[in-house]
Amino acid sequence: MARLQLSQTLNPPHTTAHRQKYDYDLVIVGGGIIGLTLASALKDSDLRVLLVEAKEQSAAVAKGQAYAVHMLSALIYQGIGIWDEILPHIATYRRVRLSDADYPDVVEFQTTDLGTQDLGYVAEHQALLEPLQKFVQECSNVTYLCPAEVADIQYQQDMVSIDIKVAGEVRTVRSSLVVAADGARSRIRQAAGIKTHGWKYWQSCIVAFVKPEKPHNDTAYERFWSSGPFAILPLPRNRCRIVWTAPHEEAKALCNLDDEQFLEELTRRYGNQMGKLELLGERFIFQVQLMQSDRYALHRLALVGDAAHNCHPVGGQGLNLGIRDAAALAQVIQEAHSRGEDLGDLKTLKRYERWRQRENLTILGFTDLLDRMFSNNFLPVVIVRRLGLGILQRVPMVKVLALKLMIGLLGRTPKLAQR
């Protein structure tokens, strides 16, 4: 990995005649999982990539989160060539049990429904971030600035001028394209004047790690209660990640309980199928929101991941949508580059926007519908949703379609996932 030294210029040594006005072909702002995924996906291109991350690597790796990693995301990482480094450090689930509170019918998705070895995976933040950071270090076409901060961006007709502050000094680089991978509160998106639509839910999520007395048997659970979804995700070393959604005040009250009281409430919600629970580490709480950007692209600017959209955590869709964004954008710009097109031209970037904005909107709508359908006790809605669960349980074609939607196998598949 090429690292910045203050004694060096930021101009890479190799340029061709038609690219000499640019220092880099694209600058990715945000070195989290999505920004790193995009940079990694461009390894086999001859595109010159600058990746800018504001946080120290150690601070980013220490982030205590865990994510569902869907089948399509795994295929994308296989296509990049990094999956073999990730897989030993994450958990595999081979069953998903979907239920509605205490209603006795349970929908169980299994590997036999798709004829696959696994249904999905669960990874802690560092289990994804560390291999991606290491992988990018081996990408000769990527320069990684960390910690560094984008101070200003000036969009011009034929280039983008970016002021980057690193070690107290400000340097200016020129690029064909800027990619905002800087999260839900994206400064890049806001500075560009891209509007967003959506809402904050009446719910917050409590997340925690627990260790059950009995094995989790590689099973993921999603149980819907009138207060909100409750998910149990398996992790290595027989641990589980709890994602507990509840109205704000209820969630705050639960989070303020001492460990013993919290475990009592958790066991009531969790059930006793895994025996006694042990709480590991701290609990965290965050508010749930839905957000969709009006545009994913402007002239010389593209948005990926949380900078472009947020959804309800039900079904573990959020990170996976961002991974698909990164794979799609990498494909669009590599194809444009191979045809000698301007990477930052709006016509080029509209191909990415048309691809991902529609597909993401489908998932945002799906997660919103799930939450609203199940997070209430209105009798007609209860009847409809339990009829729906019965159909899922008894009609194989509907069950397979629902499963494919949840794990990303419906819609357009990036070429990386087809390798």
Continuous segment of H or E residues that includes residue 80: helix 71-80
CATH number at residue 306: 3.50.50.60
Quote the pLDDT of residue 59. Answer: 58
Cβ atoms of 83 and 90 within 8 Å: the answer is no
- CB neighbour burial string for 333-350, b if at least 16 within 10 angstroms, e if fewer: bbebbeeeebbbbeebbe
* Domain co-membership, 151 together with 193: yes
Quote the pLDDT of residue 268. Answer: 87
Quote the pLDDT of residue 94. Answer: 96
Domain termination site, one of 257, 289, 321: 289
Cβ atoms of 61 and 134 within 8 Å: the answer is no
Residue type, 330: A
* Domain co-membership, 29 together with 127: yes
Residue type, 131: P
* Domain co-membership, 272 together with 220: yes
* Domain co-membership, 191 together with 267: no
Domain termination site, one of 229, 254, 289: 289
How does pLDDT run across 340-362, given as a tens digit for each residue? 999 999 999 999 999 999 999 99
Quote the pLDDT of residue 61. Answer: 55
Which residues, listed in sequence order, are joined to residue 284 by a DSSP beta bridge?
207
Query: Which regions in the chain score pLDDT beneath 70?
Result: 1-20, 57-64
Domain termination site, one of 289, 310, 341: 289
Residues 6+ apart with CB under 8 A from 369: none
Quote the pLDDT of residue 7. Answer: 29
Task: Give the separation between CA 394 and CA 390, rounded to whole angstroms.
Answer: 6
Asked whether residue 92 is domain-assigned, the answer is no
Residues across the chain: 419
Helix axes 379-394, 396-407, angle to 10 degrees: 100
Asked whether residue 87 is domain-assigned, the answer is no
Asked whether residue 326 is domain-assigned, the answer is yes
* Domain co-membership, 167 together with 261: no
Strand-by-strand arrangement of the 106-110 sheet? 106-110, 95-100, 219-225, 228-235, 239-247, 196-212, 277-293, 309-310
Cα 281 to Cα 185, 211, 232, 234, distances in angstroms: 27, 11, 16, 16
Quote the pLDDT of residue 215. Answer: 94
* Domain co-membership, 213 together with 283: yes
* Domain co-membership, 181 together with 277: no
**What pTM does this model have?**
0.93
Asked whether residue 95 is domain-assigned, the answer is no
Asked whether residue 70 is domain-assigned, the answer is no
* Domain co-membership, 375 together with 328: yes
Task: Give the separation between CA 85 and CA 77, rounded to whole angstroms.
Answer: 10
How does pLDDT run across 205-224, given as a tens digit for each residue? 999 999 999 999 999 999 99
| Closest alpha carbon to 322 in 30, 90, 50 | 30
* Domain co-membership, 51 together with 127: yes
* Domain co-membership, 160 together with 193: yes
**For the chain, what is the domain count?**
2
CATH number at residue 244: 3.30.9.10
Token pair listed for 193 = 């004047």
* Domain co-membership, 276 together with 374: no
Task: Give the separation between CA 64 and CA 84, rounded to whole angstroms.
Answer: 23
* Domain co-membership, 258 together with 337: no
Domain enclosing residue 225, as ranges = 201-289
